[in-house]
Amino acid sequence: MTATIDFADVRRHLIDRTEIALLDVREEDPFAQEHPLWAANLPLSRIELDAWRRIPRRDTLIVVYGEHAGTDLAPLAAERLTALGYTQVRLLAGGLEGWRAAGGELFRDVNVPSKSFGELVEHERHTPSLSAQEVKALIDARADVVVLDARRFDEYQTMSIPGATSVPGAELVLRARALAPDPKTQIVVNCAGRTRSIIGTQSLVNAGLPNPVAALRNGTIGWKLAGQKLDHGAARRATQPNDAQRATAQADARRVAGRAGVRWIALDVLPALELPGRTVYRFDVRTPEEYEAGHIEGFASAPGGQLVQETDHHVPVRGARIVLVDDDCVRAAMSASWLAQMGWDAHVVEMPPQSAFRVHGASPSVHATAPDAVEVTPAELNAWLRESLTPVAVLDVTTSANHVKRHIPGAWFAIRAQLQQALEDIPLVPRYVLTCGSSLLARFAARDLRALLDARGSDAEVYVLAGGNTAWFAAGFPSESGEQRLAVPRTDRYRRPYEGTDASPEAMQAYLDWEFGLVEQLGRDGTHHFRVI
């Protein structure tokens, strides 16, 4: 039986900054409704796929909780983590209700540590900002102004301020001088809401950029609430800085990192940081395209702006060390400056030789070996579905967003951790086929389904679609879209009020009101260790 740990002990670890991973194993939507500040979401459905990558040290103290529909998911999550080799797994005594009853603060939404930190930065530094109406007036008057969008490029393409250029957060200090070489040019930094606008603007202020700089107050949400139109499908990217601009940015970033307490380390002595009992995360903070063109072995891709925005996802072990690298010592230094202010032990690799960036391709996949499964090819499944002699139920355990966008005709959407609930809606048939994007998660789900069917005394056949949905679509077989067959609700992902183009004004305003209250919540929680320079 897994041992328990109570609220007071978890809080002590957070205050003392000793390593701990507090894991919420529910799906993302219930996680987003309420959770402790430093809880990281690792759904039960994906533990075998994500745990080794996100929690690399097997003797990390891991604390799990997660109630769903009257079922405590935590004991099963603890079993799976133990089976993966983790030796210090604990259950949170009383679960989330125990945390609440003990007086623990609970937060809403996702990426809360980063968002609350951004609000604290604005509160303490009075980060300059302009309203949507003021920015539009500048644009309409053809004033000397540039708008820099600090989000990911795909977010920028979905909706952007008219005329804005995509400059993801960590790129700002490196590229802003090339985009606004005249020091009189007004620079406006935006994101969808507030955090990346604030952090991006304050980055340029901290770096000493001579231009007037301001955040677009409340981002694209503020723009829409003002009744102003956004662009869609924009593709403007930042230009490369020249040698002089790069040198200036390097000096600026090094100075800011020094003020924040960032430490520098040579690549060849990096193993000295990896001591027993210490977790070390290594991230390359350049763009994904640069990473895939050549990176240093052992470093995962995490573009700096998103790393700062989504620290709880990338670094679920609070108290761990973080080592960043790039090939210019600007993006890593600026990203590390923010991580250090958020209470992380942040290091930057001193200018590595270009020869070190010799590994090509995406970050390697690190996950448990998938269970054996009986496979069916896309052609065979297509024949089964067409002949209708033996009823077949196709269960799609991919993300709900991908399922709704495109799936095999007749397929049911199901969440792996909720298969028992899904079987209440899916008709009993003599043959089941599990699928997902690649078939990897489907293999784990097939094992779970087999156990559920055995418990019911069913001898139905269970197959996995070879190559998953990707192989089905590549073969040119039919597809459909929509929510026709949701065996469980779409709780695998929390719908952010600032994403997409169809959020209601009420939802957007409620989100902004929530962000405004985060500084007060931080004060009540008392475990953050944030220090704004």
Count of structural domains, the chain: 4
Assess whether 206 and 293 both reside in one domain.
Answer: no
Assess whether 418 and 390 both reside in one domain.
Answer: yes
Assess whether 130 and 101 both reside in one domain.
Answer: no
Last residue of a domain, one of 435, 451, 474: 474
Q: Tens of pLDDT along 386-422?
A: 987 889 999 999 999 999 999 999 999 999 999 999 9
In whole angstroms, what is the distance from residue 141 CA to residue 211 CA?
19
What local confidence, expressed as pLDDT, does residue 497 receive?
Answer: 75
- Lowest average pLDDT, out of 117-121, 147-151, 371-375, 509-513, goes to 509-513
Assess whether 379 and 403 both reside in one domain.
Answer: yes
Q: What is the residue-averaged pLDDT of the chain?
A: 95
Q: Is 343 left (phi over 0), alpha (psi -120 to 50) or beta?
A: left
Give the chain's count of helices (H) and strands (E). 23, 22
Instruction: Specify the 3-state DSSP secondary structure of 413.
Output: strand
Assess whether 44 and 93 both reside in one domain.
Answer: yes
Instruction: Specify the 3-state DSSP secondary structure of 319.
Output: coil
Are 96 and 7 in contact, with CB atoms under 8 Å apart?
Answer: no
Residue 347 has pLDDT above 80, yes or no: yes
Instruction: Specify the 3-state DSSP secondary structure of 332.
Output: helix
For 93-121, give the DSSP string.
Answer: TTHHHHHHHTT---B-SSSHHHHHHHHHH
Q: Tens of pLDDT along 44-60?
A: 999 999 999 999 999 99
Assess whether 176 and 265 both reside in one domain.
Answer: no
Is 514 inside any structural domain?
A: no
Write the CATH number for 159: 3.40.250.10
- Among all chains, which residue has been given the structure tokens 């240093």? 296
- Lowest average pLDDT, out of 226-240, 300-314, 416-430, 507-521, goes to 507-521
Q: Which helix (H) or strand (E) holds 61?
A: strand 61-65
Last residue of a domain, one of 236, 271, 297: 236
Assess whether 130 and 231 both reside in one domain.
Answer: yes
Domain containing residue 426: 375-474
